[in-house]
Structure 1
Amino acid sequence: MTPPPYALRIDTDVTTLRAADHLLRGLAAGLGLPGDTFGCTHLVSEGGRRRVALSLAASSRAVLDTARDRLTAQGRTVTDGVWDEAGRAVLFPGAARLTGTLTVAEVLERSAIERVRVLGTPDAPGPGTRLNTREFVRPRWEDGELVLAAMPAAGSTLVPFEDPAPTPCCADH
């Protein structure tokens, strides 16, 4: 699967992934987007201004034209295209079906994710390998494929690399 052909960039003043996820979900809910829409976050630094920007991608230009009009009416800065080709997907087909512990085969079957990559190993996990989603799955676009980075966890399972509740840097001192 390649990213849908029509995309919008939504600029923000958000500086954390958690806040960007929340904003993206809220905007998407208010827009009533179809289930095949992708919503991604992008780390952007332009003119010394660092932020987490958003993109929406869909297979229908009409869907995004309507989204653009509504977002612009809300005072959002919206332009055509994506920020980069490596967006972090928050909204994607099948995302809501990735809960609990699933096999890699189930993850690939239920969602738009095309591949699971285990950090630190050159080999792909077997289709029967269990993945504890922690109800927080954030794949990224890599060379036109939606790829979930995972890491080994207890009990011969995997977990998504991105932690749903990360410890802030230097939290213990």
Structure 2
Amino acid sequence: MTPPPYAIGIDTSLTALREADRLLQDLAAGLGLAGDVFGCTHLVRDGDRPRVALSLAAASEAVVEGARARLTDQGHQVRDGVWDGAGRAVLYPGAAALTGTLTVAELVSRSAIRRVQVLGTADRPDPATPLVTREFVRPHWRDGELVLAAMPAVGGTLVPFEVPDPTPCCADH
């Protein structure tokens, strides 16, 4: 699945990913956006104001333009397009179905994620490999497809590289 053609960026003053995730989820819920919309976070480091910006993308121009109008009316700074091509997806088709332990094949078939990349290896994992989602799956756009970074865990399983509750020393890096 490639990124949808219509997108907007939402500027924020947030500096923590967890806060940006929450804002993105709240905005999408408040706008009544369907499950086929992509919502991403982007680390923006321009000038002296590093922050986490957001983007919303959809296959429908009407959906994106409706979101733009409502967000602008709410006082948000909105721009055309995404901030970069490497957004971290928080909202994407199938995200809600990625709970518990799934095989890599199930993860790919249930969601917009096209592949799993195990850190430190060039090979793709066996499709039958179990992946413990921890109900927190944040893939990144890479070369036009959503890719989940994973790492080996106990008992031959995989887990997403990003943890849902990072330790404070590492939470903002």
The TM-score with structure 2 as length reference comes to 0.97
Q: Secondary structure at the match of 2:50?
A: strand
Q: Secondary structure at the match of 1:46?
A: coil
Q: Deviations over 1:41-63 (max 9, x none)?
A: 00001221010000000000000
Match of 1:79 in 2: 79
Aligned-partner residue type, residue 50 of structure 1 = P
**Equivalences for residues 1-173 of structure 1 within 5 A:** 1-169=1-169
Change (3 A) 1:170 1:43: closer
Distance 2:75 2:45 in 1: 21
Distance 2:45 2:91 in 1: 23
Distance 2:108 2:67 in 1: 29
Q: How many residues align?
A: 171
Distance 1:142 1:170 in 2: 23
The CA deviation at 1:122 is 1.3
Distance 2:96 2:35 in 1: 10
Aligned-partner residue type, residue 42 of structure 1 = H
Distance 2:170 2:68 in 1: 40
Aligned-partner residue type, residue 120 of structure 2 = G
Mark the runs of 5 or more structure 1 residues left unpaired by the alignment: none
The TM-score with structure 1 as length reference comes to 0.97
After TM superposition, which residue ranges in structure 1, 4 or more long, deviate above 6 angstroms?
none
Q: Deviations over 1:76-118 (max 9, x none)?
A: 0001101000000000000000000000000000000000000
Stretch deviating more after TM superposition (87-96 or 120-129): 120-129
Q: Deviations over 1:24-46 (max 9, x none)?
A: 00000000112110000000012
The CA deviation at 1:137 is 0.1
